[in-house]
Amino acid sequence: MTTKTAPQNVIKRINELRDQINHHNYLYYVLDNPEIPDAEFDKLFRELQTLEQQHPELITPESPTQRVGAKPLKVFGEVKHQIPMLSLANAMDEEEVRNFGRRVADTLEQSDAEHIEYTAEPKLDGLAISIVYHDGRLFQAATRGDGFTGEDVTQNVRTINSVPLKLVGRDYPQILEVRGEVYMPKAGFVALNEKQQAAGVKTFANPRNAAAGSLRQLDSSITATRPLAMYCYGVGRVEGATLPERHSDILQRLRQWGLRISPEIKTVHGITGCLAYFAEISKRREKLDYEIDGVVYKVNRIAQQEQLGFVSRAPRWAIAHKFQAQEAMTQVVGIEVSVGRTGALTPVAKLKPVDVGGVTVSNATLHNEDEIERLDVRVGDTVVIYRAGDVIPKVDRVVSSLRPKQTKKFHMPKKCPVCDSDVERREGEAITRCTGGLFCAAQRKNSIKHFNSRRAMDVDGMGDKLVDQLVDKGLIHNAADMYSLDKEQLAGLERMADKSAQNILDALEKSKSTTLARFIYALGIRDVGEATAQALATHFGDLRGLMKSNEEALQQIPDVGPVVANSIVKFFQQPHNREVIDKLIKAGVHWPKVAQITTEAAPLKGKTFVITGTLSIKRDELKARLQSLGAKVTGSVSKSTDYVVVGEEPGSKFDKAEQLGIAILDEAAISKLLKKAEQ
């Protein structure tokens, strides 16, 4: 590099940085073996950016900084492939693969077909690409197109980090055309769609569409933001060097030059080896971080490839062994809504049964109301169903040209299809939920398990497995039903006997004596945790006052905002929930009278507490009581702390409180303070 303005030490440093960055890119993207942390790489990159900004005359097209995209194109130019990019013949089952093997053996006049060497590699579900390097520098990139003419996507390919702008080493050909697949990793696809959805723009149906759409952007700066990657699978035009005699060795040579090849590539012998590879990849398919739709087998020796030649537009020496189709077309015969254990409503498309990937599919999830709106799927529509491995089948797209006349848009129900309670969908959320938490059969197990939990009613021995048995056998339908169980019913359950049954009955009887705060928390009202339950109990003093309260009154309580207030009102508005509460009180659930404290009269309002050490009172319970009295409870001691509550083995918070002269309360002192404040 020569220049009249830049000092030689700057030129030298820029070249050093480019070499180092290219080296580390090679280790990261090709060898998957980085040797420096990302932060160190970023330092090198920023230093190069700074030097190039100071000396723009030194910027070259192959500099690592030049991946950000160039001026938007008005249209893609055409590129004629000097060596056509032919497609592969497909084999849909084992017999077709064996037929391919027999044809290869016959043409090569091989008596023992199992001695023929093949390379096997995953068939990526992406976009075929041709990249030409002149003297080791990226010169041109083009899509496959029709195999003879493709689109010039050079600017866009330059933005892909895994594509080297300059080859590694010095023994590469003067002209090297590599061929491969541009794809989008699964994780990148998910992240991109989340970003698209957040921006309110159309999401992509699958990683292949996302890759194709990203690579064919006229504005390469957009492509630069997309998580694209590339694997090379072969070569086209080569001038100025002789390549190895085996396809597998050629791929390894490409890797030495800084080009990525799939780590899954394997050399096998005979069709038996090919099929064994197919079986192995099939098992690991879902664990790969990219989508594949099959496996490609290629005769490994180049001389044998030349002997086999081509037929029509496909080579005789290679074949694609495809997985069973992951997509199929069928008709929507209905849309039903299921209710999950948390009350989430999920629309499900009922389909005319269709085979997808070897599995008969008659249902496909539609996720939520937003997804139905995006797809505009209606009863009677013809749709494309997508299924990948064990993933639940989903409606990928609607074939709008086949839509019958007079179809109607689908809308989520206003009432829960299971319990007829109201449903709600909060602003900014995608999920619609049932508000009948205590009664809804779909939420039954979750509701009862929460009710029994240690911080709620604390029913000792009533574990998850026991609740499952009671619900599955139809012995209980809601939390109140537990108090009607008898010894005979319990003793007849799995792993239960008279003594354990009596223990459960005793625990249920003991749980009837509780606190109002615990009872409110046990109801499982959405967004109401222990602290909020304590604040509600202290503010209202009784349950009936809380049940009759409106959103405006609720928002006068500390930490109760409009969302929480809405959840509380909606919960108590449901007749089913009120019925269960009445049954619980009639069963004998009770609590001592609570001294009502209004927000204005909160005795500890403005006071900050810190709790440290081991106390006989549960820390969460103490925190909730303090907060209900208007206090703020924090995790660290500072000058703004008013009191530090100290138990056994208090640690550094106690020391800091002494240093700052903050009031220290032992368990007796905090109990006295609470008793006085709650009077």
How many Å apart are CA 492 and CA 151, to the nearest integer?
73
Place of tokens 């012998």: 269
**Under a CB-based contact definition with an 8 Å cutoff, are residues 307 and 107 in contact?**
yes
Let me know if 249 is exposed, middle or buried by CB neighbors in 10 A (0-12, 13-18, 19+): middle
How many Å apart are CA 328 and CA 31, to the nearest integer?
38
The partner residues of 150 in beta bridges, in order of sequence, read 79
Give, rounded to a whole angstrom, the gap between the first and last alpha carbons of the chain. 85
Q: How far is CA 678 from CA 104, 535, 595, 622, 672, in A?
A: 90, 12, 6, 13, 10
How many Å apart are CA 288 and CA 513, to the nearest integer?
55
Please, which residues have CB within 8 angstroms of residue 258's CB and are 6 or more apart in sequence? 22, 25, 26, 30, 164, 166, 167, 168, 169
Asked about 583 being catalytic, the answer comes back as no
User: How far is C-alpha 377 from the chain's CA centre?
Assistant: 24
Let me know if 187 is exposed, middle or buried by CB neighbors in 10 A (0-12, 13-18, 19+): exposed
* Amino acid, single-letter form, for residue 473: K
Query: How many CB atoms are located within 10 Å of the residue 46 CB?
Result: 12
- CA pseudo-torsion sign 321, 322, 324, 329: negative
Options 74, 80, 123, 195, the catalytic residue: 123
Cα-Cα-Cα-Cα dihedral of 132, 138, 139, 143, to 10°? 50
**How is the beta sheet containing 137-143 ordered, strand by strand?**
137-143, 127-134, 175-183, 229-239
**Under a CB-based contact definition with an 8 Å cutoff, are residues 571 and 523 in contact?**
yes
Q: φ and ψ at 662, to 5 degrees?
A: -85, 145
**Under a CB-based contact definition with an 8 Å cutoff, are residues 647 and 612 in contact?**
yes
**Would you list the DSSP string of 425-468?**
--TT---EEES-TTT-GGGHHHHHHHHHSTTTT--TT--HHHHH
**Under a CB-based contact definition with an 8 Å cutoff, are residues 18 and 42 in contact?**
no
Please give the positions annotated as active site.
123
